Structure 1
């Protein structure tokens, strides 16, 4: 048995191959067949001692079931260690029951994946009251990587105005906004957000005078409806920012949202390739490969069961 391979769901095979090339390992596709009644059949390639499964978990319903079936098939095929690389991790928002009868999906999904894999690697997980990703996955290894090093490298490569101020849309963004600003030697600001509903938010800039006449880089971890990003951009435009460009780790919004962003004053928006999206401009393969390098030496051919 070979020591290590990467296997990926069909929609993310290209990204998996980029990581595999960096690690010097092979990559294969996990085949999924859907029957007329929407049941699925999952077929994995021959297992290795260590199998890294690559699967961003946007549109998660079918993907979660496919991962559970693939995990079982790989174990049956002899895999001794399974690592899930999910650059975008679903169901992290619901970390408590806000109303009677609500399921705490973070806990349920976390246990499902922890039972199926030995390690989870993700990027900028959308956590609120959970402070450590290992709390989500009891009993296994878990890594929540920051996309900020990859974003900083991309900005240095493409160039940016040294007068730029980095802005986050809420207090939760301060950790990654301050990190990115420090990497680029730029000032930063975290706005204050008040949420009135799923799509109704209010944004207040703590120092609106700081953005007057300056280019702004608006940074967020996750954009789905785009409401928060648009409201923050309007506040920045009202404060007389000279330009507004946005960068997000996880882009989930549909193409028609771009019109709303333009009306709000956003000149451009770029995302990481944690999820396949038309705004992808920042590759995470280097970041993920670095986090996975220690898997190469976990099990060698000499320690296999053959």
Structure 2
């Protein structure tokens, strides 16, 4: 078994190879003058782990080219981050079910697929091959455990993310709650933990994805007003668009961290060991 990856996932792929005690396939990437992508894979094995996050259109095309280049091998696809997964249903007439459209692209060339904290697990049913979703809740909890926080409160930004936050909190035996939004007037909204008090303790807001960071930034300011000593923000997938990292820091958040499903400067926990374990199972 060897591991091969797209350009945007090469660090995570190398860590997966280390966790599997195997080697990487060398790949040359380039682009034609008209903008088309090109790649050339090195020597393959009979069994290959293909790693590629779908972060934008070029990453998707590169992943499809890589799968085709690995023809003849038994291929296991790892989608650390699957873009378009949040469009899991048709909300208005005429809309595509984008998650289904992406999943259907992997009909040929792969035996199975592993996703990581996919936003909506029901998307797995759209894959034409067996698909398994794994969670990094425990890994994030272990990461928080190294931060030296005393009696942290783990907060989900809403009740939909509560199950993930509970998994994070379980790793350290910490308190867990979710933020509840209360509209005070037509223009004023209050956000606070639903049941527990944030006063005089550090708070870590955790979620599967941070995109713009707007909700978390607003929540951080209010948590400080409620007496939180420090506020941190952690996620699995650090999309962080539109200056989100700076926006979060400017709101008073002491630290922002994510995993390497999307490789960022603040990727402080790795999905590699959990992915390797799923591949072995």
Q: Is TM > 0.5 for Structure 1 vs Structure 2?
A: yes
Q: Which region of structure 1 is more displaced relative to structure 2, 90-99 or 40-49? A: 40-49
Deviations along 1:73-105, whole A, 9 cap, x unmatched?
211xx21x2111121111101112222222111
> Is 2:13 aligned against 1:16?
yes
Task: Using structure 1 for the length normalisation, give the TM-score.
Answer: 0.83
Where does structure 1 differ by over 4 angstroms across 4 or more consecutive aligned residues?
A: 200-203
The alpha-carbon deviation at position 262 of structure 1 amounts to: 2.9
Kindly indicate whether the alpha-carbon contact (under 8 Å) linking 1:68 and 1:116 is maintained by their aligned counterparts in 2: no
**Stretches of structure 2 lacking an aligned partner (at least 5 in a row):** none
CA 169–68 in structure 1, closer or farther in 2 if over 3 Å, else same: same
CA 149–208 in structure 1, closer or farther in 2 if over 3 Å, else same: closer
The alpha-carbon deviation at position 201 of structure 1 amounts to: 11
3-state DSSP of counterpart to 1:210: coil
CA 227–201 in structure 1, closer or farther in 2 if over 3 Å, else same: farther
Aligned residue in 1 for 2:62: 66
Deviations along 1:13-69, whole A, 9 cap, x unmatched?
2321221122121102333221111112232223322111111222x2012122222
Distance 2:192 2:238 in 1: 24
Kindly indicate whether the alpha-carbon contact (under 8 Å) linking 1:171 and 1:193 is maintained by their aligned counterparts in 2: no
Kindly indicate whether the alpha-carbon contact (under 8 Å) linking 1:201 and 1:228 is maintained by their aligned counterparts in 2: no
After TM superposition, the structure 1 = structure 2 runs for residues 248-259 of structure 1, keeping only pairs within 5 Å, are: 248-254=235-241, 256-259=243-246
Aligned residue in 1 for 2:95: 102
After TM superposition, the structure 1 = structure 2 runs for residues 1-306 of structure 1, keeping only pairs within 5 Å, are: 4-58=1-55, 60-75=56-71, 78-79=72-73, 81-127=74-120, 131-138=121-128, 140-161=129-150, 163-192=151-180, 204-207=191-194, 210-254=197-241, 256-294=243-281
The alpha-carbon deviation at position 160 of structure 1 amounts to: 2.3
**Stretches of structure 1 lacking an aligned partner (at least 5 in a row):** 195-199, 295-306
Kindly indicate whether the alpha-carbon contact (under 8 Å) linking 1:44 and 1:73 is maintained by their aligned counterparts in 2: yes
Distance 1:145 1:223 in 2: 18
The RMSD of aligned alpha carbons is: 2.3
